[in-house]
Each structure stands twice: as structure tokens, then as C-alpha cells.
Amino acid sequence: MARVITYGTFDLFHEGHYRLLQRAKALGDYLIVGVTTEAYDKARGKLNVVDSLVTRIENVKKTGFADEIIIEETQGQKVNDIRRFHIDIFAIGSDWTGAFDYLKDYCQVIYLERTKNISSTMLREQNSPIQRIGIIGTGRIAERFIPEARLVSGVNTQGVYNPHLESAARFAQKWEINAYKEIEAFYEASDVIYIASPHETHFGYIQSALAHGKHVLCEKPMVLEKHQADELFGYAKQHNLILLEGIKTAYCPGFHKLLGIACSGTIGAIRNVEACFTKLENPRRRELTDTRYGGSFTELGSYVMLPILKLLGKEYTSIRFDTINDENGLDIFTKISLEYPSGIATATCGLGVKSDGRLLIAGTKGYIVAEAPWWKTAYFEVHYEDIDKTEKYSETFLGDGLRYEISDFLSMINGSSNSEFKLTRGESIALSEIMETFLQEKRGYRNR
């Protein structure tokens, strides 16, 4: 009896999948189908899967070809499955030709001709047309954004706007996109807008993009005053538009897993959160020369405040900023201390002082620690009184990580998932209020 195995996501189940399973079954007597989990697909960079795992399994089952369905959760599982299930033939579509030759040491490997002119990607695009992204700003983050956006199916980076025409033209040429002189023409040619301009320009650009009926993804800090955040979110909601603050940590799978574990009660009630992120910056850069809006807190504060707001909430009873300023009056190191009814927190950020960048969450039963770069969470540990009980968790973090927020932004636009909980409006508003308090104190200090 020949035993065959094949694997796939089987998203938006189509004829190509059906024919593949039919031929795989015909290769032997018993067919096992491995269906990928959402986490595994995310880890291998397949970000826009529409159907849930349950739906995808149901669809494979309905074909009647699978004698057994298993879940594919990790890379490297195939070898173990082949041994465990005594597989004779591994079959997969011809788009993978060569990729699974390493399995030839364990069984026969057959690449089946892929069915032409049909794919899940194509169906996803038909269901939800490609979103053309227009980018405002041409700085370092915009440079990182484009290669990441190109990995997310369903979006197309199409144009860039910057009132400094030369910068826009240079950027557009490098990335082979269009540069726009007129913002009206730019909006006309874009479906969604990504804002990566200097902090203080965000408010005006978000306002105008929303007024043009565009969904907006805006770099952190989204705005620097609470009333601005209130107004923008209010307008977006009223007009059914998505407005998302791009704090990449909030959307990355590892951070998500960490929050899930922290909130599950395994470390008991959370009493203390400490988050630190420092980055020694070139003193000539905007971050350390823009005396109004530069400095460590506006630059990195969103990252360090994020786990605190997520875990202890927005209702702090007191907040205090301690800063070390440079000769321009810019904060090169800032410590934020917060008190809550049943917990405390400190957030530390630095552009001119280096420290141990870690995230520590202390609870009544144990603690979680993630070392730098915890803001790109790939690994963390859970510790208890009994050191033998330490648990270690890892999660893939691909590239610069912007792909996760772009993918969530897109799913929210298409209505296929609601990722708003990853960074809620309330949390973004709280962040803007904290930015405002900080900047007011800083100005007050300077005016003294």
C-alpha cells in the first residue's frame, strides 16, 4: 500500500488545489494532507491568508481525496512526518520544483504540474482589488517600508509625495515609483496613504488624506496632541475609514504571543513593567538637531510605552518624566515613571545614552523577560520562583517587521480581519496625550 503526503495552505480553495489533491491521491492508496497553521504561514512570509484553518481543513475534507488531514505547524516538520507516517511519496505542485529535493533521502518526491491561470493570490486580488499605496515622506523609514510592502500581496507601492521635489524625485527613481508635485494628483492615484513625514506634519497630512476618503497608516508618534488624535479617529470612524498608527512592535507575532502569555495569568497579576530602548544616534541627524520635535522620547517613546499601556492600561494615576538634555535642550535620555492603582511601570529611552534594552514584566507568580531587540520580539522567557520551571518561547520575526503592520492594515481595509485590538484607538489616543504632556513639560522647562 503506497502512502502519499502533500502539504498546502489551501486558501480560497480552488480548482488548482482540487486537481493537485486528485492527482496526489491517484499516486498511491492512502493520502495524508498537511494543512498549514496561520502562525506557520506568517512565519514563512505568507501574510494574507483569508480563510481560517478550520475552513481550509473543511475544504480539503470536502474533496473526499484525503484519507487523513494533519496540521503543519513548523519548518522541518515534513521530514518527521514522512518518517512517522511511513510515507512512500511526497507530492507537491511544480511551483516548488527543486525545493523539496532534500526529502529524496526519505521517500520519492514528485512535482505535479501546477494548474495554470488560477491561484489563491489571484482570487484574493479579485475579491479585494489591489490597494495602491501612496507614500508621504522620503526618509529612512519610508526606505524600509517599500521592500516590506512589496512582500505583502494585495498592495502596490505606487507613488510618493514630498513637498521637496528633489527628494521625491530621487526616492521615486530609486524605487521605480511615481513622484507627485501636486498633492491632489497624488491622492487621485492612491487608494491608501502611508505617512512617514516628520512628526509634526502628521496631523495635517492625516487630516487631508482622510478628507480625500483615503485609509491611512501613519508612522509613530501619530500625533503630538490628544485633541488631534480624538479629532482624527472621530472623523475616520464617522467616514468608515481605517486609521492606524504604525508602531511595528504592536503587530509583530512574537510580541503578540508575549502579551497573550502575560495576560493569561501564568505569571499572576502584573505588578511592574519595565521597558527600555536606546539607540546611539548620529548627533547630526534630525532626531538630535530638531530642537522642537526631536529627542529620545518623541523618537522611541511609542515603543517603550506600548507594553505598559497594553499590560497595565491607560488609567495610570500619575506620570513623571526625568530627562537628561544635551546642550540644545533635547532629551537624549528619558525615564518615564507611571503609577497605577495596583502596579508601577518605567519606560526608558535614549538616543545619546546607551543602556540595556530589555522588557521585563513582573507578576505575582513569575516574570517575563525579553532582551533587546524586544521591540522586534523573536524570543522571550518566562521565569518562576523555581528556576527549573523556566519556559522559553521563540517566534519568527521577518525582515524589518513592517510587513506585519501593512498586512494587518490591509486586512482591516478588506474587512477580512479586525486587528484593531493590536493597537486600539484608545491606546493611540493615550500615547498622543503622553507625548503632549511630555512636550509641554519640556517647553515649560525651557521657558523657565
Stretch that binds ligand C2G, among 11-19, 262-270, 379-387, 435-443 (CB under 6 A): 11-19
Can residue 115 be called a binding residue for ligand C2G (CB under 6 A)?
Answer: yes
Segment near ligand C2G (CB under 6 A); pick from 1-9, 81-89, 132-140, 288-296: 1-9
Work out which of 5, 60, 92, 177 binds ligand C2G, going by CB under 6 A.
92
**Residue 419 contacts by C-beta under 8 Å, 6 or more apart in sequence?**
251, 408, 411, 412
**Long-range contacts of range 368-375, CB-CB < 8 Å, 24 or more positions apart?**
368/258, 368/261, 368/262, 368/267, 370/258, 372/277, 374/255, 374/275, 375/248, 375/249, 375/255, 375/277, 375/303
Binding flag, residue 114, ligand C2G (CB under 6 A): yes
When asked if residue 124 is in the footprint of ligand C2G (CB under 6 A), the reply is: no
Q: Would you say 32 and 90 are in contact if contact means Cβ atoms under 8 Å apart?
A: no
Burial class (CB in 10 A: 0-12, 13-18, 19+), 304: buried
- Binder to ligand C2G among 3, 5, 18, 20 (CB under 6 A)? 20
Closer residue to ligand C2G (CB): 10 or 251: 10
Q: Which of residues 25-44 bind ligand C2G (CB under 6 A)?
A: 36
Q: Is the separation of the CB atoms in 200 and 293 below 8 Å? A: yes
CB atoms within 10 A of CB 60: 22
Residues 6+ apart with CB under 8 A from 237: 425
Contact region for ligand C2G (CB under 6 A) — 3-11, 153-161, 356-364, 380-388?
3-11
Residue 9 lies near ligand C2G (rule: CB under 6 A): yes
Taking CB under 6 A as the rule, does residue 297 contact ligand C2G?
no
The one segment of 10-18, 101-109, 295-303, 349-357 that binds ligand C2G by CB under 6 A = 10-18
Q: Which residue is nearest to ligand C2G (CB)?
A: 93
CA–CA distances in Å: residue 332 to residues 48, 358, 440:
39, 18, 17
Q: Considering only the stretches 15-23, 188-196, 262-270, 346-354, report the one whose residues sit in contact with ligand C2G under the rule CB under 6 A.
A: 15-23
List of residues contacting ligand C2G (CB under 6 A): 7-11, 16-17, 20, 36, 72, 92-93, 95-96, 114-115, 118-120
